[in-house]
Amino acid sequence: MTKPKILVARAIFPEVIAKLEEHFDVESNQADETWSKAQLTSKLRGKQGAFTTGGDRIDAEVLAACPDLKICANMAVGYNNFDIAAMSAAGVLATNAPDVLTETTADFGFALLMATARRVTESEHYLRAGKWTKWSFDMFAGSDIHGSTLGVLGMGRIGQGIARRGALGFGMKVIYHNRSRLEASIEAELKASYVSKEELLRTADHVVLVLPYSPASHHTIGAAELAMMKPTATLVNIARGGIVDDVALAAALRDKRIAAAGLDVFEGEPQVHPDLLTVPNVVLTPHIASATIPTRQAMANLAADNLIAFFSGKKPLTPLNASDVAAK
Ligand code: 8YV
Written as one letter, the residue type at 248 is A
Which residues have CB under 8 Å from 261's CB, separation 6+? Answer: 116, 234, 235, 236, 237, 249, 253, 281, 282, 283
- State pLDDT tens for residues 69-83: 999 999 999 999 999
CATH assignment of the domain containing 38 = 3.40.50.720
Distances from the Cα of 219 to the Cα of 154, 245, 249, 307, angstroms = 14, 5, 10, 34
Tell me how far CA of residue 152 lies from CA of 43, 176, 243, in angstroms.
Answer: 40, 5, 14
Give percent of the chain above pLDDT 90.
Answer: 99
Specify whether the CB–CB gap between 219 and 245 falls below 8 A: yes
Report whether pLDDT(327) > 90: no
- pTM of structure: 0.97
- Tell me what the mean pLDDT of segment 66-70 comes to: 98
160 with 22, same domain: the answer is no
Are 150 and 191 in a shared domain?
yes
Co-location of 118 and 238 in the same domain: yes
Residue 131's pLDDT is what? 98
Mean pLDDT across the stretch 175-192? 96
pLDDT category at 328 given cuts 50, 70, 90 is confident
Q: What is the pLDDT of residue 193?
A: 98
240 is catalytic: yes
- Give the C-alpha distances (Å, rounded to integers) separating 302 from 51, 77, 98, 222: 11, 11, 9, 35
Residue 76 CB–ligand 1 contact under 6 Å: yes
* Domain count within the chain: 2
145 and 84 in a single domain? The answer is no
| Amino acid (one-letter) located at 94 | A
Q: Are residues 111 and 246 in the same domain?
A: yes
- Distance between CA atoms of residues 278 and 276, nearest Å: 5
Res 27: pLDDT? 98
Ligand 1 centroid – CA 152 distance (Å): 19
Residues 61 and 184 in one domain: no
Q: Does the beta carbon of 109 sit less than 6 angstroms from any atom of ligand 1?
A: no
**Domain match, 121 and 58 both:** no
232 and 173 within one domain: yes
Q: What is the pLDDT of residues 256-313, one digit of tens each?
A: 999 999 999 999 999 999 999 999 999 999 999 999 999 999 999 999 999 999 999 9
Query: Which residues fall within 8 angstroms of residue 73, CB to CB, at 6 or more apart?
Result: 49, 50, 51, 52, 95, 303, 304, 306, 307, 310, 316
Contacts with 166 (C-beta within 8 Å, 6 or more apart), sequence order:
110, 145, 150, 152, 172, 174
Rounded CA separation 126/106 (Å) = 28
In a shared domain, residues 127 and 257: yes
Q: Which member of 122, 225, 267, 269 is catalytic?
A: 269
Length of the chain: 328
Q: Average model confidence (pLDDT) for the chain?
A: 97
> By the 8 A CB rule, do 93 and 115 touch?
no
Query: What is the structure's pLDDT at 222?
Result: 98
Whether residue 94 is found in the same domain as residue 106: no
Closest CA to 99 of 161, 44, 171, 43: 161
Q: Compute, in angstroms, the gap from residue 85 CA to the centroid of ligand 1.
A: 21
Q: Give pLDDT tens digits for 197-230.
A: 999 999 999 999 999 999 999 999 999 999 999 9
**Which pLDDT tens digit goes with each residue over 111-144?**
999 999 999 999 999 999 999 999 999 999 999 9
Q: Are residues 132 and 273 in the same domain?
A: yes
Is ligand 1 within 6 A of the CB of residue 12? no
Buried b / exposed e over 217-240, threshold 16 CB at 10 Å, is: beebbeeebbebbbeebbbbbbbb
Distance of CA 294 to the CA centre of its chain: 17
pLDDT band at 12 (very low <50, low <70, confident <90, very high): very high
Q: Of all atoms in ligand 1, which is nearest to the CA of residue 240?
A: 7
Residues 6 or more apart in contact with residue 3 via CB below 8 angstroms: 23, 24, 25
CB 153 within 8 A of CB 210: yes
Average pLDDT over residues 149-174: 98
pLDDT at 1 over 90: no
Q: Which domain holds residue 126?
A: 102-284
Q: What pLDDT was estimated at residue 152?
A: 98
122, 151: one domain? yes
Single-letter amino acid code for the residue at 147: G
Percent of the chain with pLDDT over 70: 100
Whether residue 306 has its Cβ less than 6 Å from ligand 1: no
